[in-house]
Amino acid sequence: MDVSFLGGPLPQRGIGVVAPFDFALDRELWRWVPDDVSLHLTRTPFVPVEVSLDLARLVSEHETLREAVRALTAISPEVVAYACTSGSFVGGVAGERAMSAAMCQAGEIPALTTSGALLAALRELGAARVAVVTPYTKSVTDALEEYLREAGVQVCGRSYLGLTREIWRVPYRDVVAMAREAVAEGPDALFISCTNLPTYDVIPQLEAELRMPVISANQVTMWSALRSIGKEAVGPYQALLDPVARRGPAAMTPEGGGGPEVALTADPPPLFPDEEG
């Protein structure tokens, strides 16, 4: 049968992604990506270390990143992103910049990291005070706070799980519970850390409840990578990505805050039908 009339396949833009060896959320990354963009993922070599500051340092060594980027250049992505929050904040602001520079040099293409994308997203939202939610241990969470403070961002609340393995199995209910605890002091935004922590569906729910922008590690990584090639991430009801959402529930002050409360969009359907709000 002659199928020449089909033409195609349609041209695809390419984003390279370097992820830690235990990254389990490939499908979640794809949910932020428009149909005419492809993700090309590679992983760092396995090391027998649990999630910790030691692991963060091991999976972010410059030579490891260079080798991963060189492998990706065979398929000519337009940008490469290092999708690991702890691995990109463990060396502080200077360490993050050095990682991006090493990847850029290795592939001769633009490069970014999750932690660098986080700072860009906070600037985009005008958020100077942030609460953080992490699945990490205390020491890793402390390192995230130090990175944000070094970048001029005030951390005014936090909640963490203390996990050292299988973070991708954390249910949305646990993320919601941590978020509610972390925002007691009324931050400008909430950041949910770790690219191995599922967040896509919970972001609009939390924004509707907490009345503030909610951003996550995978979200800011995809937002920044796509923006660098002139594309927009796909994320209905997510304030970072959807200007209408930013003017709606996420722009409202918390209950009792006295700010304007004019929602321009309907709240998304609840994730948990047995809960109100």
pLDDT of 136-195, one tens digit each?
Answer: 999 999 999 999 999 999 999 999 999 999 999 999 999 999 999 999 999 999 999 999
256 within some domain? no
Q: What integer is the mean pLDDT of 116-125?
A: 98
Number of domains in the chain: 1
Cβ atoms 183, 190 nearer than 8 A? yes
pLDDT for the residue numbered 187: 98
**What's the angle, vertex CA 174, arms to CA 131 and CA 157, rounded to 5?**
15
Q: Nearest-CA neighbor of 62 among 107, 28, 10? A: 107
276 within some domain? no
1 within some domain? no
Answer yes or no: is pLDDT of 250 > 80: no
Tens of pLDDT, residues 12-43: 999 999 999 999 999 999 999 999 999 999 99
230 within some domain? yes
Please report, for the domain that includes residue 147, its CATH number.
Answer: 3.40.50.12500
277 within some domain? no
Answer yes or no: is pLDDT of 115 > 50: yes
Q: Nearest-CA neighbor of 215 among 234, 233, 193? A: 193
270 within some domain? no
259 within some domain? no
Average pLDDT of the chain, as a whole number: 91
User: Residue 233: which domain range?
Assistant: 11-251
Q: What integer is the mean pLDDT of 252-257?
A: 51
Cβ atoms 235, 226 nearer than 8 A? no
174 within some domain? yes
User: SS3 helix, strand, coil % of the chain, rounded to 5?
Assistant: 45, 15, 45
Say which residues have a Cβ less than 8 Å from residue 94's Cβ, sequence separation at least 6.
none
Q: Nearest-CA neighbor of 97 among 60, 144, 139? A: 60
The residue with greater pLDDT, 48 or 277, is 48
Q: Nearest-CA neighbor of 113 among 19, 39, 28, 199? A: 19
pLDDT > 70 in the chain, percent: 90
CA distances from residue 126 to 136, 236, 238, 257 in whole angstroms, order as listed: 26, 20, 15, 18
E strands along 30-93, which residues?
37-43, 79-82
